[in-house]
Chain A
């Protein structure tokens, strides 16, 4: 197969690229303290949160946009973005059928009849959460799962205690911006000893043009509890870039476990690099208590630029952090993604498995930090990051940072970069497997370690997504 054919095969249509024609309430573009006051007032927030936002905004104004990542983009006009867009509600209880249609079309189970799917969904449309399913069933188990704007009203003490405790407002440029203008997102609290009966899921959708999405997710797993959370995202095809600067904070107390899975399929832009989402996200988890566990699994196939490092701070002794990632870039996509594992407690363990696949003219970088602090005796880390190159015009890069301050810790890192080999393809073709299927098989095998870590529904979706993206990619 020639390079041209290969490129053509790689430019698969983006199926989630439609626009929902819906009446929306939007603020004019621009950002100042009035916008923040407006968002805060709109959500009827308590004073502590309004002040928190304003403080974050003032800090953001003193910060400079970071430029160290291995990604290139035109400067973002922050005053040209819309910071609040929400579909108009017909009434307090009724949801616009067009919205439901949108989610149906995207295959998101927003009707509770979809109970078989076993997933409770929070659907976030532009700046607001439009519906959350199975709240009652979850409430029976004592699990709180609701939009964060609702949690601010109903559980202000929990929000005040944990918001910004893992990602402080001044953590970085985009986290500060998010802290100032975040509009919605999910809030989860799992009480002591409770195993959450359903998979929880949030589906993010950017619809309105020129809108930035700044959701904030806060998940707290109290002692001995367990929760699995899934996140999906899409956006319409537009010629201009859209900014998505989310913050996700996870807190796992003693003996608790949080599994956080992402299938990210934001609009990646067209073949020439026009349009697409800038996915600049701060995700961090804190294993606060002994024996806590946080596991990040991500499948990143969308976005013009993906720039994020889901991290774990292993503070509690014997706590565990995991990061499993597949990042596929094609066309003109760029990714600089990886993780940070900060070992503070004794006998903490972390595992990193990262698989990067670069095709077309894309650039795919893994960047990861493993830090062993002086108190982390007996800590262990194992990192494996592999890259696969498909075609001669793409790039695959690895930037690991390994820092140890404790002689009783062990850190192991290995990385490899290769291409889909002629031998592997030949082997498959000899057995009557066509080239496209053969590539899918080889890449599927390459990513197997990560897919195994995804919840079943997501594993199927992720596998399909990858297959579609890779159809006919090697010849």
Chain B
């Protein structure tokens, strides 16, 4: 299976007339936008200055990346945007220039630009526009490895999972130099389609903004398994529109790193009846780290019989740790069951005492309690790739033992 099937180097948008006209309109819109400030509720806790640091400016820069071993299973590697290696049979990968006009028209319509500076900028300046299609169920997860190392890097991935099919995607990120990756993935799940989507951002030292826009068809199911650890600035964003009786299960862990800031923003819209959302995010915040989670569940008048729950919890492990949480519900339908819960706290002294009184050293006792804190999320990580990575990365922060 691990044979290179194709290597392509697409470069952003192809120059057909319809796309050019569409792109020009986007560029005009982008010219009117400015980066968000903290007055914007969805950017209230963001530390954006890192994205615009002079050493990370510039576009289309070259960068050399280290040679690495091929990955196991199905995988695609994208360096500074375009793919450099593609190893997949189950998924069909095409660049924008390879698409027929009907497919292009369909996707232009789907790519609602909105008013968000980073989202529009990604569309306007996309280094690579790739369409991934899944037409048959596969159990092997496809790993997409992004590597960036110089200036602004803006990959755009379009993903279509055909009705009734099931698949899994895992996105991983690594940086090798001063850079800002402003990437986006647009997921389109057909009726009854199922996608398990892993997002894994450990070791990220530079600025990373990664946006997932998902549209779930009727009875579709999206299972997100995310792990975020930033030494620089990192923002992970999900914008999900739920179809009738669709299911979203979103599970995530933030492992804060000293001087790092991780920012998670969730927007989940229920406009169709009978859908279910279950969000569970937990964060560990050591000294000098910052973690923020903003989550909004919007239920339109047509979203009757919605069942939505959001649970956001953080453990602050040392002085200088900072956490901000904003779980929102906006509800315009009455036949719904919605709830959210949030906690910010520390390791339980009594539990720690209990363990220590039984001869368990403090470091070990803290490790156990942290594991217990993360367990409800880890239990939902079914992607072996993600789980293995996460468990190897979840080391006890040095100052947590203090």
Asked if residues B331 and A395 are in contact (CB atoms below 8 Å), the reply is yes
A residues 414-456 touching B (CB-CB < 8 Å): 414-419
B residues 344-359 touching A (CB-CB < 8 Å): 344-346
Subset of 10 A-B contacts with CB under 8 Å: A394-B334, A396-B329, A400-B326, A401-B44, A402-B325, A403-B322, A403-B324, A404-B323, A412-B342, A416-B339
Instruction: Give the size range of A's interface with the partner.
Output: 35 or more
B318: chain A residues at CB < 8 Å are 407
Number of A-B contacts (CB under 8 A): 114
Interface residue A301 (Cβ < 8 Å from any Cβ of B)? no
Known: A396-B329, A397-B331. 9 other contacts (CB 8 A): A68-B41, A389-B333, A394-B334, A397-B329, A399-B326, A407-B316, A415-B329, A418-B338, A419-B334
Q: How far is B44's CA from A414's CA once the two chains are assembled, in angstroms?
A: 21
- Least Cβ–Cβ distance between B338 and chain A, in angstroms: 4
Interface residue B362 (Cβ < 8 Å from any Cβ of A)? no
Complex: chain B residue closest to A377, CB-CB? B319
Nearest 7 interchain pairs by C-beta: A407-B316, A389-B334, A410-B345, A404-B344, A411-B344, A413-B342, A416-B339
Asked if residues B341 and A413 are in contact (CB atoms below 8 Å), the reply is yes
Q: A402-B344, A404-B323, A410-B345 are in contact. Are A396 and B331 (CB under 8 A)?
A: yes
B residues 28-68 touching A (CB-CB < 8 Å): 39, 41, 44
The listed residue with most B CB atoms (<10 A of its CB), out of A372, A404, A410, is A404
Q: Contact string, A377-395, partner B, CB cutoff 8 A, digits 1/0?
A: 0000000000101111111
Asked if residues A404 and B328 are in contact (CB atoms below 8 Å), the reply is no
Asked if residues A413 and B337 are in contact (CB atoms below 8 Å), the reply is no
Q: How far is B44's CA from A374's CA once the two chains are assembled, in angstroms?
A: 19
B residues 306-343 touching A (CB-CB < 8 Å): 314, 316-343
Name B340's contact: one of A389, A391, A398, A408 (CB within 8 Å).
A398
Interface residue B70 (Cβ < 8 Å from any Cβ of A)? no
B residues 289-319 touching A (CB-CB < 8 Å): 301, 314, 316-319
Q: How far is B316's CA from A411's CA once the two chains are assembled, in angstroms?
A: 11
Asked if residues B324 and A406 are in contact (CB atoms below 8 Å), the reply is no
Interface residue A137 (Cβ < 8 Å from any Cβ of B)? no
Asked if residues B341 and A417 are in contact (CB atoms below 8 Å), the reply is no
- Least Cβ–Cβ distance between B175 and chain A, in angstroms: 28
Interface residue A243 (Cβ < 8 Å from any Cβ of B)? no
A414: chain B residues at CB < 8 Å are 339-342
Asked if residues A387 and B41 are in contact (CB atoms below 8 Å), the reply is no
Asked if residues A397 and B330 are in contact (CB atoms below 8 Å), the reply is yes
Q: How far is B99's CA from A101's CA once the two chains are assembled, in angstroms?
A: 81
Q: How far is B301's CA from A391's CA once the two chains are assembled, in angstroms?
A: 11
Q: How far is B343's CA from A283's CA once the two chains are assembled, in angstroms?
A: 27
Interface residue A163 (Cβ < 8 Å from any Cβ of B)? no
Interface residue A405 (Cβ < 8 Å from any Cβ of B)? yes
Asked if residues A404 and B341 are in contact (CB atoms below 8 Å), the reply is no
Interface residue A409 (Cβ < 8 Å from any Cβ of B)? yes
